[in-house]
Amino acid sequence: MPAAKTSKRPKYKRKKKKLSWRSKPEKKWTLVDWKEWLWDTKFSPYIRLRDCLRTTGSPDCGQCVTCHKVYPRNRLQAGHFVPGRTDAILFDEDCVHAQCYRCNCVLDAWPEYYRFMQKEYGQEKIEQLIDQRDEKVELTVDWIKEAHEYYTKRIEEFLNGNNVFPDEGVG
């Protein structure tokens, strides 16, 4: 994973619903579009594939980290442990795991997520991720393109049967 560039303060303001990157030409994409593009096409698919392989050994289905029910891969979502979606945590693999829609969007599954993180990563990592959220990081288009290439390769590796988990814990 390439290191994110550190510069300005994270932006918390979410603008009102705009056209998705899918419905406009690339040269009109804003930074938000670039981030969504990486999320939709590579990062979220990567996280869900990783957690399917990790929890069931199959790329087709996986366990929600908070309710532990098994769902088909396409019904899982990539849910953040630390809320806020700042640039500093948006694409941090250790902060994002497969969750079902209900746990990610309907229930407040924070206690269960906390318990999972404690078991998989330990308290020190939890503290680090919480602090990390407010770090001054601003993603750039170059970084996003590089990350897109990186996750393309990682997904291919997974689908080719190389279930390599390079980091400790879940990642």
Name, in order, each residue with C-beta under 8 angstroms of 126's C-beta and a sequence gap of 6 or more.
Answer: 81, 114, 117, 118
| Span near Zn ion by CB under 5 A; candidates 25-33, 35-43, 58-66, 134-142 | 58-66
Rounded Cα gap, residues 152 and 158, in angstroms: 10
Is 100 a binding residue for Zn ion by CB under 5 A? The answer is yes
Q: Which residues make beta-bridge pairs with 71?
A: 62
Joined tokens for residue 81: 């442990």
1, 32, 67, 70: residue in contact with Zn ion (rule CB under 5 A): 67
Stretch that binds Zn ion, among 9-17, 47-55, 92-100, 133-141 (CB under 5 A): 92-100
Contact pick of 103, 126, 139, 144 for Zn ion (by CB under 5 A): 103
Is residue 81 within 8 Å of 59, Cβ to Cβ?
no
Looking at the Cβ atoms of 29 and 101, the one nearer to Zn ion is 101
In angstroms, the CA 140 to CA 151 distance is 16
Q: Closest Cα partner for 75 from 107, 54, 51?
A: 51
Minimum gap (Å) between residue 4 Cβ and Zn ion? 29
| Nearer Cβ to Zn ion (102/125) | 102
Binding site for Zn ion (CB under 5 A): 64, 66-67, 100, 103
